[in-house]
Amino acid sequence: MPKVAEARNQARKTRWRPTPLIWASIVLHLLCLLSLVVAPVYWGWALGAVAANHALLTLVGLWPRSRWLGTNYTRLPETAIAQKQWALTIDDGPDPDVTPRVLDMLDRHGAKATFFCIGEKAARCPALCRDIVQRGHAIENHTQHHRHTFAFFGLAALTREIETAQATLTSLAGRTPAFFRAPAGIRSPLLDPVLTRLGLRLVAWTTRGFDTRISNAATVSRRLTRHLEPGAILLLHDGNSARSPQGVPVILEVLPVLLDTAAAAGLRAVTLAEALPSPPA
Residue 63: inside a domain = no
pLDDT at 3: 53
Indicate if 91 belongs to the active site: yes
CB atoms within 10 A of CB 278: 8
d(CA 135, CA 112): 8
Residue 241: inside a domain = yes
pLDDT at 172: 97
Domain that holds residue 139: 78-275
Residue 70: inside a domain = no
Residue 118: inside a domain = yes
pLDDT (tens, 9 = 90+) of the chain, 281 residues, equals 555 555 555 545 468 899 899 989 989 899 899 888 888 887 888 889 889 988 998 999 999 999 999 999 999 999 999 999 999 999 999 999 999 999 999 999 999 999 999 999 999 999 999 999 999 999 999 999 999 999 999 999 999 999 999 999 999 999 999 999 999 999 999 999 999 999 999 999 999 999 999 999 999 999 999 999 999 999 999 999 999 999 999 999 999 999 999 999 999 999 999 999 766 54
pLDDT at 281: 41
pLDDT at 54: 87
d(CA 67, CA 71): 6
Say which residues have a Cβ less than 8 Å from residue 123's Cβ, sequence separation at least 6.
168, 172
pLDDT at 39: 86
Among the options 91, 192, 211, 238, which is catalytic?
91
d(CA 36, CA 22): 21
As for how many domains the chain has, the answer is: 1
pLDDT at 11: 47
d(CA 55, CA 165): 30
Sign of the Cα pseudo-torsion (10, 15, 16, 20, in order)? negative
Residue 226: inside a domain = yes
The pTM assigned to this predicted structure is 0.91
Residue 43: inside a domain = no
Residue 90's domain is classified under what CATH number?
3.20.20.370
Cα–Cα distances (Å) from 86 to 126, 174, 205, 223, 269, in that order, read: 28, 25, 11, 16, 5
Among the options 192, 211, 237, 238, which is catalytic?
237
Indicate if 260 belongs to the active site: no
